[in-house]
Structure 1
Amino acid sequence: MTYAIIETGGKQLRVEPGRFYDIERLSVEQDEKVTLDSVLFVQHDDGIAIGQPFVDGASVEGTVLRHLRDRKILVYKMKPKKKTRKKRGHRQEITRLMIDAINLNGSVFTSDAAESNASTVAADEPEVDSSAETADEAQ
């Protein structure tokens, strides 16, 4: 299993290829590719790479799926015996990011699902039967 720990929006996040994550809003348009270079840790099969603070030559590639707002967080302030109450809400702007690949020193790690989807697309293409064409020409 391949994963990486990245830093974005002041938070650290464990990401895997082929999954999507909600992170703080990025100033990138929808359906555009994003490369995140602040990779703290990469694990692939038995090998690991630890950064101090970042791993040299490591990056995470992703696609912005959409921008949305997170659920509302209510902030309620009350001072007892003073008849003061404040009720405020906040919704954080977030970006849904699909992780496409993890790069480490030129080697690219993608998800098994993405590789299997590519192989099934190739398998779904109709094969041309050359024997049927030659039989039609013979008649």
Structure 2
Amino acid sequence: MAYAIIEASDKQLWVEPGRFYDLDRLDADLDQSLTLDKVLLVQDEGAPQIGQPYVAGATVQVTVLSHPRGRKVTVYKMTPKKKTRKKQGHRQDLTRVLVESITVGGKVLTANAADLPKSEADIDAAG
């Protein structure tokens, strides 16, 4: 099982080829292919390659699937004995990306064909 730990949207994510992930909104069009180069760790077969802070020559190729919005979070503030109440809601703008491949040292790591989703309906059903 090949995987990588990347830094994207000021977060560290464990990513695998053929799976999709939700990141904070990226300025990219639908079906656009992006290359993420902030790879902290790559594991394929054998010992993992750990970067200091990033693995040299390692990239993750992703494709933008959609730009959904996250679940609504309710923020409620109340000051006791003052009759002060404030209720707010927030929905985070997200970007759903599909990890196509992980490249390290010229070697391309991809998912098995059986693991890849067949259509957009399969992706929506899984997430």
Q: Which residue of 1 aligns with 2:94?
A: 94
Q: TM-score, normalised by structure 2?
A: 0.88
Deviation of 1:113 (Å): 2.8
**Contact kept? 1:18, 1:114, Cα under 8 Å:** no
Q: Which residue of 2 aligns with 1:79?
A: 79
Q: Which residue of 2 aligns with 1:51?
A: 51
Q: Which residue of 2 aligns with 1:131?
A: none
1:106 alignment partner AA = G
Deviation of 1:99 (Å): 0.2
Q: Which residue of 2 aligns with 1:29?
A: 29
User: Which is greater in Rg?
Assistant: 1
Deviation of 1:47 (Å): 3.1
Q: 1:83 to 1:116 in 2, by over 3 A?
A: closer
5+ unaligned residues in a row in structure 2: which ranges? Answer: 118-127
Q: Distance in 1 between matches of 2:96 and 2:78?
A: 35
SS at match of 1:69: coil
Q: TM-score, normalised by structure 1?
A: 0.80
2:4 alignment partner AA = A
Shift >2 Å, 4+ stretches: 113-117
5+ unaligned residues in a row in structure 1: which ranges? Answer: 118-139
